[in-house]
Amino acid sequence: MSVEELNRLFGIPGLAEFEEGNGGLTKLVIAAEGSLAEVYLLGAHVTSWTPAGGEDVLWLSRESRYEIGKPIRGGIPICHPWFGPLEGDSSAPIHGYVRLTCLEVESISPTDDGGVSAVLWRRFGKPPGDNWPGDFELRLRVTVGRSLSVAAETLNRGQRDLVISEALHTYFRVSDVRKVRVTGLAGAAYWSKATGGRAVQGPEPLTFTAQTDSVYRHSAGEVVLHDPQMLRAINVAKRGSKSTVVWNPWIEKAAAMPDFGDDEWPEMLCIEAANALDDAVAVPPGKTHVIETIISVEPCRHGVTV
Ligand code: BG6
C-alpha cells in the first residue's frame, strides 16, 4: 500500500502520519503528549522515541541497513518466533523472521490518556523449515505518549501447541556504556553467552567493562538503566516476559558486524524483555500470548533519581 493510501485509510493528521523512511521503506511517525516516535512497517520496528523535552531514548546505528529481508540495527527489533539461533536448523535466520518481514496496519487510534496506539499485524503461515514454528498471527501494538509501550501478541492458528521464544530487543542510547548502571536484576540466575559461564547476579548494580551478553532467567520485574551523564534513568517495565537479556558487543564484536559502526559500541546498551531458553512459551491452539515492554524516563542527577 502506498504512503498516500495508508494516510487516507489510517492516518490522523498531526498525530500519526506515514512517510517514506530510509531505504524507501514506509514508516509511521507518531506525535503524542509532546513525544515523538517512528515505527517502520518492516518488522513493526520502533526506531526512535523522544519523550517530551528529552532526547531520543533509543539508539540506531548509522550503519544500519534498511532493506526488506535484513534487520534494522538499533531501535526495537522484534525477535520472534525464536530468539537467537533456531535449535536444529543452522540455516534459519538468527532471532526469527518477523524482523525481516513487513507487517500490515490494522488500526491507529488515540488512547484515553492522550497517547496514540498503532496496531500492526500479519499472519505467518507454516514456514519452510521442519523445525520452524507456525501457523500464527502476530499483532504488535505500539503505544506512544508519556511512556512507550510495545506489546507483541501471538495467536496460535495451528492445531498443536506453538512453542516460541522471543525478545523485544531494545537498544537504549547511553552517554557511555562504561559509565551507566543497571539495577533490578539482583538475585537473578543468568547465563553469559560472552563467557559461557552461569552465575547469580549479586546485590550490586551491573556495570560494564567488557563484552556482555547475558540471559537472566526468571526475571520478570522492572529494570532501571541509570545514566547520570545524560541526567536520566530509563525504567524498563514488562509483562508476559520471564527473561531479561543484557547485551553490548564491545570492541571486537562491533568491528565484526557490517551494520554496526566500529566506534559505536559505547553509545548503546540493549535491555530486552524476553522469553528465552527454558522460558520459551507454549501457546495452545486458538490461544494468545502477550509480551510487552513499557519504557519511561525519569530525570536523574549524580546517579540519583530525582
Ligand atoms: C542479543 C543476543 O540479544 O542479540 C546476542 O544475545 C546477539 O548474542 C545480539 O549477538 C545481536 O543479534 P543480531 O542478530 O541482531 O546481530
- Over residues 146-160, the mean pLDDT reads 96
pLDDT tens by residue, 33-62: 999 999 999 999 999 999 999 999 999 999
| Per-residue pLDDT at 241 | 98
Cα 82 to ligand 1 centre (Å): 12
| Per-residue pLDDT at 282 | 97
Catalytic residue among 80, 169, 226, 289: 169
State which ligand 1 atom lies nearest to the alpha carbon of 257: 16
Residue 157: which CATH number? 2.70.98.10
| Per-residue pLDDT at 27 | 98
- Over residues 105-128, the mean pLDDT reads 94
- Regarding the beta carbon of 245 and ligand 1, being less than 6 Å apart is answered yes
Catalytic residue among 267, 272, 289, 292: 272
Is residue 272 part of the annotated active site? The answer reads yes
User: Does pLDDT of 306 surpass 60?
Assistant: no
Testing ligand 1's pocket by substitution, the residue of 169, 245, 272 carrying the most ligand atoms inside 8 A of its CB is 169
User: Does pLDDT of 301 surpass 90?
Assistant: no
pLDDT band at 165 (very low <50, low <70, confident <90, very high): very high
Domain count, the chain: 1
User: Does pLDDT of 6 surpass 70?
Assistant: yes
What range defines the domain where residue 35 resides?
Answer: 3-305
| Per-residue pLDDT at 207 | 98
- Regarding the beta carbon of 226 and ligand 1, being less than 6 Å apart is answered no
pLDDT band at 129 (very low <50, low <70, confident <90, very high): confident
| Per-residue pLDDT at 168 | 98
Testing ligand 1's pocket by substitution, the residue of 79, 213, 269 carrying the most ligand atoms inside 8 A of its CB is 213
- Regarding the beta carbon of 254 and ligand 1, being less than 6 Å apart is answered no
| Per-residue pLDDT at 5 | 98
pLDDT band at 299 (very low <50, low <70, confident <90, very high): confident
| Per-residue pLDDT at 75 | 98
| Per-residue pLDDT at 238 | 98
User: Does pLDDT of 305 surpass 90?
Assistant: no
Is residue 298 part of the annotated active site? The answer reads no
- The 3-class SS string of the chain reads CCHHHHHHHHCECCCEEEEECHHHCEEEEEEECCEEEEEECECCEEEEEECCCCCCCECECCCCCCCCCCCCCECECEECCCCCCCCCCCCCCCCCCHHHCECEEEEEEECCCCCEEEEEEEEECCCCCCCCCCCEEEEEEEEECCCEEEEEEEEECCCCCEEECEEECCEEECCCHHHCEEECCCCCEEEECCCCCEEECCCCCECCCCCEEEEECCCCCCEEEEEHHHCEEEEEEEECCCEEEEEECHHHHHHHCCCCCCCCHHHEEEEEEEECHHHCEEECCCCEEEEEEEEEEEEEECCEEC
